[in-house]
A and B are shown apart, each in its own frame.
Chain A
Amino acid sequence: MIPWSSFVQKAQSLIDPANFNIPALSSPDHNPSKASLFRQQFRLPDSQNPLQEITADLVLPLPNSSANQGDGSRKVDRAGNTYTGRLHLSERFICFSTQPTSFIPSATASASTAWTGQTHGTGPSGNGFVLPLSCIRRVERLHSASHVFSLALTTWNGLLNKQQEPNLVPQRLILQLVGSRQACERFCDTLKKGLREGMKEVDNLRTVVTDCYSEYLLSGAKGKGQDGSEADTRQPPDAGLGLIFRYPGDARKLRDRSKMRLWGEYFRENGRNATLIRQPTFHKLIRVGLPNRLRGEIWELTSGSLLLRIQFPMLYQQTLAKFDGQESLAIDEIEKDLNRSLPEYPGFQSEEGIGRLRRVLTAYSWIDPEIGYCQAMNIVVAALLIYMSEAQAFFLLSALCDRLLPGYYSTTMYGTLLDQKVFESLVEKTMPVLWDHLTKSDVQLSVVSLPWFLSLYINSMPLVFAFRVLDVFFLEGPKVLFQVGLAILRVNGEELLETQDDGSFISVLKSYFSRLDESAHPRSENPKLRAITRFQELMVVAFKEFSGITHSTITETREKHKGAVLENIETFAKRTSIRNLGPESKRLSVDDLGTIYDRFYETLYQWEQRQRVIEEETRRQERKKSQRLSMLAPPADTQVGRVGLGPSPTHMDYEAFREFLAATSKWAVADSPGPSGKESLSGKSALWANRRQPADHEFMQRLYRKWATNPEEGLDLQNVVNGLARLKGSPDIMNNINYFFNLYDDSGNGQVDREGILKISEALLFLSRRGFEGTITATPSVENLNSTADRDHAEDSLTTDEKFLGSVSAFIRRCFEYADPSHPENRKEDQQDATAEATEKLDSFAIGDDDDEEEDLIDVHDAKPASSPAPDATAQTAKSTTPELNSDDHNRSTSESANPALDPNNPLHITLPTFRMVVLADELLEQFFESYFPQSFHLSDHPHPAALAASSSMSSNLTTFSNLGSIRSSGLAAGSAPVAGASGGIVPPGKGLRGVLDNIVSDGIRMAAEVKKRMDEAQRDLERNALGREEDEDDEDDEDYPRRENTAAAIPGGIPSWGAGAYGADTERRSVVRDADRDLLEGAEVLGGGKEERTSLLDGKDDANHAPRKVSGSAASAKDGGSPTARDGEVISKLVEFES
């Protein structure tokens, strides 16, 4: 018999996966870690890891008390004194389990009233034990004749009390390890180490154990008290409100006293509380219902919460003390419900009971802020408090939320919804007829069953019966809820089949619950049968008929429905959240909002996940130092990253915001490709799949500060939506210009100072450094095209990007030109001169260089005859060139002369109208603000109609850029492609394009920096030579105005010729030229290669205003442009100076 059963058990332990309490939702990859399976199986705290495991036989001495009433179950004990199973060792626990399986036929006959057999459960693993190492007093190695490696464990069982118990025999159990000698030795070594550690915790153990009712029971104090012959030697420990307000139900009818006796006997033979060994009787005793005073203790024993309490005996009190007097949303919610938790129980009509409830719920809301408080917890905790102390209830609640009811009380209640789905699918599977009926009558099962699960039947059934369900639930886990639920439907099946709607369905069940104590077979002849109550019948059905519902059934079904449930919740959350975003958000399309929402949370979660990984790593390193409070943090393998899973971060800090921007705008991606390969991205947004390092630019910080209501706290979804809505919501260019200006209006007084102007220009270059995705077009001229025709595939002047750089330098110049002095006393006539001079300087540095390079183009490379007329044209038309000539001529002298505009004592600023004017004066800048800037924030693939209209005017050169990964509708690309082809200037984008662009742009940025540096230098110069500059300025002033007039006049004809001449060159040739120039300047790497690809097709009208600027800008940035003016040599030398 013994070998056979142990063999069966062994075999089954190999077969049955149900032995493992697979953590319900904690497996991101459907592949829970061994550690978590191990913890689940033995209900250990999350700090525990499996260290050793070995097959072993557990040999228990025969019961020493011979006065057993043989109630049948005893036989099993006698027969089963040796159990074969696996012995496990973790840091603090030694666990043994025979892993009984659901295949074991129940020991009792089906018609029996006592359904006390094995519970097919995967509770704490059938027979065996889970001993804290601190419980072990001594370990001896037994020398046996056979070559068996035997250990004898003596525990502290019963010895931790101050008073000696009568007739106490020390608990001693023998373990025979089955394995190689080495394996056994290894196990023993680890055990030794653990025991040494465990000794430190004996005091914890003592604190907790002496509070247990079992100790009180066995100490004999109780018996004496009942006799009345002696006064109680000690107060009974807190066994819940029931001790004060009576326990629910009729104790006599519940046969409480005999149950108590049976438990006393079991404890004496098998140990109590922490040192209890589970034998089959244990399960049976639980099935028949726990005695009132022991109920709380056994609950915490079977649920594993006792182990938590031993680990942190004072956590409850400490938590209360720590947060004393603090307030929270959860506390408000708790207060609302205190008076309405099991109000029918007298204990909760008293301050005592309500106070306990308040403290437990509050303490829990502090240690698990992600859950906080959920309605239904009040009912569950109220029920627990009838049978256990506050601290016990606190830890049991923790075990419930973490392990037994995962996700039930979370902020999205995904666990609840998921288990409803699971329940429905089980009903469909096990009771197809009823399911069909429900579907046909449109009765939604979950509206009935949800409260069963959420409040553990406590307010569905009469309390006495709900507690009986709980007894088994804590032992065997969540599957019990399903089994009972299915049994309820099965028992009422016939009646339910007659119901037609929710109402009648509910009322059938209501009346059933109210008659649970009645006889199930009132008319039966057989008195035994008549004695069976409906509740007993229910339990038999639940655990016999639905014995096939195991933990693995539940786990598998959960896994199956999890995706859909989470998706539902997320859809709901998204819908709600988007709808509640407020009026500002209405400026964006629903698709856009959806995209923002998704991206916002995706970014947040990824960010959080990365933080978590880092944290984890840190913690792993620190693990030896301090033990992690398992209760205070969710298990390490808890899945995060879905809105549906509950408490989600709501604010992103600047770092996360950068990530968000990088996923939104190309310009927010860092230039240097970081270690992108490492960071995996869910393939949700394929377009951005190859994750890039976000850039970090002052502009992004400004954006962040602008968007955030409270930059410390971070950005929430509302902030981001509002920020984007203001940018993208209206296709109004003025709005965008204003917005940009305000970003840089640090003082908020409507002025941007010198520093700000330079920062703006830097930002413009920063934003444009990845190209314009076709939203900006420099208008080409007819001549341009002609000249293109003239030369073999001659390119049509500069790319938009190059021109834009010119626009930016023109922007700086003009800003200074039109800036107002910040001090009124400086508002003299010479102010303008000063400004002009500043501008001029800028020209000479920023813009002049392009001229010189253009010049080089002509001078150095004679192979470009067509470009010869360019100098004249440029000189006349491109306003930038003319003054530069002059400025450069007297560059040295002027730079040495003081200029009030650059004098820090004469601060200047531009106002919004000036800024607006300067922007609108330039076609490219205008386009930048009109279309590129708002459109550079990519949202949904279906842009708002307004945005779409704007983008339809995109020029043809976008074909080139669209391939860089910008989001564009393919239709547009297709439409524009032929045009682009016709232009002849389009070169398919090469792989190196991005790099080339980056170079150009970073050059541009460097250029701006240099301008700034130069400004500072000039400033210093000016300070030195504060005098004698009047004439110079006058001169410049004179020149300045005519120049502008010239420009205006030249618009119709000037540029074309210029373009044809200077820039109408073939791309390849240009690139060669540029290379040469570049070599000249700094011997740098190839640059022109990319330029050809960026060649823009200029269509439509020409605008002299932007074209030359474009030229100069691009040249400035690349230092390889061309300018057909005379003073190039100087500028070159200057540039060389800069470089050095």
Chain B
Amino acid sequence: MSESASANAPKPSSSVKLVLLGEAAVGKSSLVLRFVNNDFQENKEPTIGAAFLTQKCSLPTRTIKFEIWDTAGQERFASLAPMYYRNAQAALVVYDVTKPSSLTKAKHWVAELQRQASPGIVIALVGNKLDLTNDGGDVSEAAGAAQGESESAQNGDEGAGEEDEVQDDVSGDARKVSTREATGYAEEEGLLFFETSAKTGTNVVDVFTAIANAIPESSLKTGRGTGAGTGQTSLGNRSAEDSRVNLDDRNAATAKEGCAC
């Protein structure tokens, strides 16, 4: 896959544990499915406990292998979440742009992660179901990230280049959470921020690329979960070559300079 895509010698590869959190039915699993298989299913089985998937992301200087923990969204599964975000280096906190309560829930998750997860965890706030809004699926980079690293991610594949700053004026679409509100919150908390559509694929890969870029190099060297303080043993070679998850031809097609997922 990425080895073949790039002419370079095998780049340093490291694993990043990423956890998805958010209210039920905001599209966590769909985001992952889009990212991993470039696929979308209307009726996805609810996640019981958590689903585990992996996907590689090739950056210019290194390869990141995401180990994605996709958690169940139903409220009562929340007490299981610590089990999954333990040692996570990155988190995707997802809400539904058509459902304000889901942003509230997302904020709760952000607060939980900031206090309980590994210090230095990279958190991205993601407003999903952009396809249900007037902005439709052709919006990219709904907002810049609060962390500077995401700039490099802006030349991602899908829908890149169409900057759309103002999406606040909502007219008759299903959007209930304004971009401004979410951006403001994300900036306040120092989160990466994106609005995505798992259905159309808008911005999905960008999110992961931005996260990959935002992971500090130092934490990659020691494997995952740096500074988690829970005494986990770090593993240098986390079987980087192992691509258990079927990465389809899409990788080759999208292997540009940015993320080659």
Chain A interface (Cβ < 8 Å from any Cβ of B): 333, 336-337, 339-341, 343, 374-376, 378-379, 409-414, 416-417, 440-442, 444, 446-447, 450-451, 454-455, 459, 500-504, 506-507, 568-569, 572-573, 575-576, 579-580
Cα-based distance from A459 to B47 in the complex (angstroms): 11
B54 within 8 A of A: yes
- Residues of chain A within 8 A of B46, CB atoms compared: 336-337, 340, 375-376, 378
| Whole-angstrom distance between the Cβ of A390 and the nearest chain B Cβ | 21
Cα-based distance from A379 to B111 in the complex (angstroms): 32
B232 within 8 A of A: yes
Cα-based distance from A454 to B242 in the complex (angstroms): 30
Contact of A450 with B44 in the complex, beta carbons under 8 Å = no
| Whole-angstrom distance between the Cβ of A418 and the nearest chain B Cβ | 12
Known: A336-B24, A446-B83. 12 other contacts (CB 8 A): A375-B47, A375-B48, A413-B80, A417-B79, A442-B87, A447-B84, A459-B48, A500-B238, A501-B239, A569-B79, A572-B78, A572-B82
B217 within 8 A of A: no
Cα-based distance from A340 to B49 in the complex (angstroms): 15
| A375-B72, A504-B244, A576-B108 as given contacts; A454 in contact with B67, CB under 8 Å | no
- Residues of chain A within 8 A of B108, CB atoms compared: 576, 579-580
Cα-based distance from A340 to B79 in the complex (angstroms): 23
Contact of A410 with B84 in the complex, beta carbons under 8 Å = no
- Residues of chain A within 8 A of B50, CB atoms compared: 447, 450
List 19 A-B pairs, Cβ < 8 Å. A339-B43, A375-B77, A376-B48, A410-B76, A413-B76, A414-B79, A442-B87, A446-B83, A447-B52, A447-B84, A450-B50, A450-B80, A501-B239, A506-B52, A568-B82, A572-B78, A572-B82, A575-B112, A580-B108
B residues 12-32 near A (Cβ < 8 Å) are 15, 24-25
| Whole-angstrom distance between the Cβ of A1095 and the nearest chain B Cβ | 49
B101 within 8 A of A: no
- Residues of chain B within 8 A of A416, CB atoms compared: 80
Contact of A444 among B47, B72, B86, B112 (CB under 8 A): B86
Contact of B48 among A411, A451, A500 (CB under 8 A): A451
- Residues of chain B within 8 A of A579, CB atoms compared: 108, 111-112, 115
Is chain A's binding surface mostly helix, strand, loop or mixed? Answer: helix
- Residues of chain B within 8 A of A440, CB atoms compared: 233
Q: Contact flags (1/0) for B76-115 with A, using CB distance below 8 Å?
A: 1111101110110000000000000000000010011001
| Whole-angstrom distance between the Cβ of A513 and the nearest chain B Cβ | 14
Cα-based distance from A8 to B253 in the complex (angstroms): 72
Contact of A503 with B54 in the complex, beta carbons under 8 Å = yes
| A343-B43, A502-B67 as given contacts; A441 in contact with B233, CB under 8 Å | yes
- Residues of chain A within 8 A of B152, CB atoms compared: none
* Nearest 5 A/B pairs, CB to CB: A450-B49, A339-B43, A442-B232, A340-B45, A451-B48
Cα-based distance from A655 to B225 in the complex (angstroms): 49
| A343-B43, A412-B76, A579-B111 as given contacts; A501 in contact with B49, CB under 8 Å | no
| Whole-angstrom distance between the Cβ of B250 and the nearest chain A Cβ | 20
- Residues of chain B within 8 A of A411, CB atoms compared: 75-76
Cα-based distance from A337 to B47 in the complex (angstroms): 10
Contact of A417 among B15, B80, B86 (CB under 8 A): B80
Contact of A504 with B242 in the complex, beta carbons under 8 Å = yes
Contact of B25 with A340 in the complex, beta carbons under 8 Å = no
B235 within 8 A of A: yes
The chain A residue sitting closest to B232, CB to CB, is A442
Cα-based distance from A501 to B69 in the complex (angstroms): 13
- Residues of chain A within 8 A of B77, CB atoms compared: 375, 413
The chain A residue sitting closest to B225, CB to CB, is A442
| Whole-angstrom distance between the Cβ of B81 and the nearest chain A Cβ | 8
- Residues of chain A within 8 A of B80, CB atoms compared: 413, 416-417, 450
Residue from A336, A442, A446 having most chain B Cβ neighbours under 10 A: A442
Contact of A447 among B49, B75, B78 (CB under 8 A): B49
- Residues of chain B within 8 A of A410, CB atoms compared: 76
Cα-based distance from A589 to B174 in the complex (angstroms): 40
| A447-B50, A504-B242 as given contacts; A573 in contact with B235, CB under 8 Å | no
| A343-B43, A375-B48 as given contacts; A444 in contact with B76, CB under 8 Å | no
- Residues of chain B within 8 A of A340, CB atoms compared: 43-46
Chain B interface (Cβ < 8 Å from any Cβ of A): 15, 24-25, 42-50, 52, 54, 67, 69, 72, 74-80, 82-84, 86-87, 108, 111-112, 115-116, 225, 232-233, 235, 238-239, 242, 244
| Whole-angstrom distance between the Cβ of A379 and the nearest chain B Cβ | 7
- Residues of chain B within 8 A of A339, CB atoms compared: 42-43
- Residues of chain B within 8 A of A501, CB atoms compared: 15, 67, 235, 238-239
Cα-based distance from A340 to B51 in the complex (angstroms): 15
Contact of A575 among B24, B83, B116, B238 (CB under 8 A): B116
- Residues of chain A within 8 A of B45, CB atoms compared: 340-341, 343, 379, 459
Cα-based distance from A376 to B49 in the complex (angstroms): 9
Cα-based distance from A588 to B233 in the complex (angstroms): 39
Cα-based distance from A502 to B75 in the complex (angstroms): 25
| A410-B76, A440-B233, A500-B235 as given contacts; A455 in contact with B48, CB under 8 Å | yes
Cα-based distance from A580 to B108 in the complex (angstroms): 7
Cα-based distance from A413 to B83 in the complex (angstroms): 13
| Whole-angstrom distance between the Cβ of B23 and the nearest chain A Cβ | 11
- Residues of chain B within 8 A of A413, CB atoms compared: 76-77, 79-80
Residue from A337, A375, A376 having most chain B Cβ neighbours under 10 A: A375
Cα-based distance from A379 to B74 in the complex (angstroms): 15
The chain A residue sitting closest to B50, CB to CB, is A447
Cα-based distance from A566 to B75 in the complex (angstroms): 17
Cα-based distance from A416 to B112 in the complex (angstroms): 22
- Residues of chain B within 8 A of A337, CB atoms compared: 46
| Whole-angstrom distance between the Cβ of A330 and the nearest chain B Cβ | 11
| A375-B72, A378-B46, A442-B87 as given contacts; A504 in contact with B67, CB under 8 Å | no
Cα-based distance from A451 to B84 in the complex (angstroms): 13
Cα-based distance from A579 to B109 in the complex (angstroms): 10
- Residues of chain A within 8 A of B67, CB atoms compared: 501-503
| Whole-angstrom distance between the Cβ of A509 and the nearest chain B Cβ | 11
The chain B residue sitting closest to A341, CB to CB, is B45
Cα-based distance from A79 to B120 in the complex (angstroms): 70
- Residues of chain B within 8 A of A507, CB atoms compared: 244
Cα-based distance from A451 to B47 in the complex (angstroms): 9
- Residues of chain A within 8 A of B49, CB atoms compared: 447, 450-451, 454
| Whole-angstrom distance between the Cβ of A511 and the nearest chain B Cβ | 10
Cα-based distance from A451 to B52 in the complex (angstroms): 12
Cα-based distance from A1056 to B233 in the complex (angstroms): 75
| Whole-angstrom distance between the Cβ of A471 and the nearest chain B Cβ | 22
Cα-based distance from A806 to B44 in the complex (angstroms): 73
| Whole-angstrom distance between the Cβ of B115 and the nearest chain A Cβ | 8
| Whole-angstrom distance between the Cβ of A945 and the nearest chain B Cβ | 21
Cα-based distance from A454 to B44 in the complex (angstroms): 18
Residue from B67, B115, B244 having most chain A Cβ neighbours under 10 A: B244
- Residues of chain A within 8 A of B47, CB atoms compared: 375
Cα-based distance from A1044 to B87 in the complex (angstroms): 72
Cα-based distance from A379 to B75 in the complex (angstroms): 18
- Residues of chain A within 8 A of B82, CB atoms compared: 568, 572
The chain B residue sitting closest to A379, CB to CB, is B48
- Residues of chain B within 8 A of A506, CB atoms compared: 52
The chain A residue sitting closest to B74, CB to CB, is A375
The chain A residue sitting closest to B53, CB to CB, is A503
Contact of A442 with B48 in the complex, beta carbons under 8 Å = no
- Residues of chain B within 8 A of A333, CB atoms compared: 24, 74
- Residues of chain A within 8 A of B238, CB atoms compared: 500-501
Contact of A336 with B79 in the complex, beta carbons under 8 Å = no
- Residues of chain B within 8 A of A573, CB atoms compared: 79
The chain A residue sitting closest to B82, CB to CB, is A572
Cα-based distance from A353 to B147 in the complex (angstroms): 49
| Whole-angstrom distance between the Cβ of B92 and the nearest chain A Cβ | 17
Cα-based distance from A569 to B116 in the complex (angstroms): 14
- Residues of chain A within 8 A of B244, CB atoms compared: 503-504, 507
Contact of B233 among A412, A442, A575 (CB under 8 A): A442
Cα-based distance from A503 to B243 in the complex (angstroms): 10
